[in-house]
Amino acid sequence: MTRALIVVDVQNDFTEGGALGVVGGDALAGRISAFLRRHADEYDLIVGSRDWHDGDGDNGGHFAGAAGPDFTTTWPVHCVAGTPGADYHPDLDTAPIDVHVMKGQGEPAYSAFEGTTDTGQDLADVLFDRQVHEIAIVGIATDHCVRATAQDGLRAGLDVVVLRDLVVGVDPERSATALAEIANAGGHVDVSDMDEGIARPGGAQL
């Protein structure tokens, strides 16, 4: 079975000090890099996704106007293309990433499957071309973009695994609900070996 790892939105604006910083994001970047040092060669493809919003306009209502963000469908300005906030976190080792996809270019976007490569290919086509059947997901944020990416992966008929110790969320309760939703939809929620020091097979269903 061909396997891919998707690293979701480990960007400066989603980590401490960023426009939408998530607590634990800095540490997560380092943990994912350590995981990649151990396991990158176990994946046939590694994908990195990033929010990559237009600097002009509200990106289809994604950026809040004068009324301010509701933090559900409207947000502060973040991850504007070409700005430091849109860069990968400096502690994330991007060398193992084979394919980069950018999402939210002028419109709201959460799932990595809404992203495209520099050549305009969407993620589903990238995975199809590589004959990927299983995806493992890590990154930010559990209750938003990780959740949406897992849901789209399941809709695409892929075997989906979320490594719960390699994701961080905005809200603990919503993050727990998101993981439960993924499991109930047929996905898998597992843990990596980063704390145990023992490799575990991906896919123990929660």
Q: Residues with catalytic annotation?
A: 9, 103, 145
Question: Is the peptide bond prior to 141 cis by the omega test (within 30 degrees of 0)?
Answer: yes
Q: How far apart, in whole angstroms, are the C-alpha atoms of residue 64 and residue 58?
A: 7
Query: Angle at which helices 147-155 and 172-184 pack, to 10 degrees?
Result: 10
CA 77 to chain centre: 19
Rg (the chain; Cα; Å): 16
Measured in degrees and rounded to the nearest 5, phi and psi for residue 34 equal -65, -40
Q: How far apart, in whole angstroms, are the C-alpha atoms of residue 55 and residue 173?
A: 32
Strand order in the sheet with 188-190: 99-103, 45-51, 2-8, 132-140, 159-168, 188-190
